Amino acid sequence: MDNYSELLSSKNGVVTLRDFEGRKVIGKGADGSVIQLTEDRCIKIFEKEQTKNLELEAFQVGQQSSIIPRLYEHGKNFIVMEYISGISLPQLLKKEKRISEVVVRKILYMLEEMKRIGFLRCDTEVRHILFNENMDIKVIDLKRAFGSSRSIPTKLLKGIAKKADLKEFMGHLNDIDPGLYREWTRALK
């Protein structure tokens, strides 16, 4: 499990799922698969090099922020990054059966950090928001960070509406930042 570096260096920057048989697959989607390498690292193997390059750029720019997993190395079709041991936002909402003000504040912090970093798209799907064991927020699947400008997190809000009470979220938002609440409420109409 801990001898992945030799494997990566022997493959000239191109790996396949077969190279990691027997290791835990922690995610699989249209863009690729994520496999846990060690207790604190995982590898995302991409279907297309272009998609890997988009995500790599976002990871590199985001290394200045605590919301982005650490980047360790990359090749032509993979990125080795920090493995986040914790819970996704949908899992948290299902477990808690509500959305707390603390979680809303963390989500708002994440969105502000995305802007500060320079991401054009400050929005993400709820399944791409993770909380580590210390309840620090992390965001993954960053390929669209520079693709399109979006000031209102519509994907996030739609995802919260499916998994929790959007009125509760918006109530906390109004308490925290009434101006942002008014802006998002207008945009949702």
**Per-residue pLDDT at 185 exceeds 70:** yes
Q: Give the CATH number, domain containing residue 16.
A: 3.30.200.20
User: What's the confidence (pLDDT) of residue 188?
Assistant: 78
**Are residue 14 and residue 107 in the same domain, yes or no?**
no
Share of the chain above pLDDT 90, in %: 80
CB contact at 8 A, 156 and 107: yes
Burial 44-57 (b: 16+ CB within 10 A, else e): bbbeeeebbebbbe
**Residue that finishes a domain, picked among 57, 82, 107:** 82
What are the pLDDT digits (tens) for 38-89? Answer: 999 999 999 999 999 999 999 999 999 999 999 999 999 999 999 999 999 9
**Are residue 115 and residue 184 in the same domain, yes or no?**
yes
User: What's the confidence (pLDDT) of residue 1?
Assistant: 43
**Are residue 75 and residue 141 in the same domain, yes or no?**
no
**Are residue 131 and residue 150 in the same domain, yes or no?**
yes
**Are residue 101 and residue 177 in the same domain, yes or no?**
yes
Q: For residues 89 and 56, what is the distance between their CA atoms, to the nearest angstrom?
A: 23
**Are residue 94 and residue 41 in the same domain, yes or no?**
no
Single pTM value for the model: 0.92
**Are residue 92 and residue 147 in the same domain, yes or no?**
yes
**Are residue 96 and residue 69 in the same domain, yes or no?**
no
Q: For residues 57 and 33, what is the distance between their CA atoms, to the nearest angstrom?
A: 18
- Compare 173 and 2 and report the one with higher pLDDT: 173
Q: How far is CA 134 from CA 36, 87, 88, 130, 179, in A?
A: 20, 11, 13, 11, 30
**Are residue 70 and residue 91 in the same domain, yes or no?**
no
How many structural domains are present in the chain?
2
**Are residue 106 and residue 172 in the same domain, yes or no?**
yes
**Are residue 180 and residue 91 in the same domain, yes or no?**
yes
CB contact at 8 A, 153 and 128: no
Domain coverage including residue 63: 4-82
**Residue that finishes a domain, picked among 55, 82, 109:** 82
**Residue that finishes a domain, picked among 82, 98, 120:** 82
**Are residue 22 and residue 45 in the same domain, yes or no?**
yes
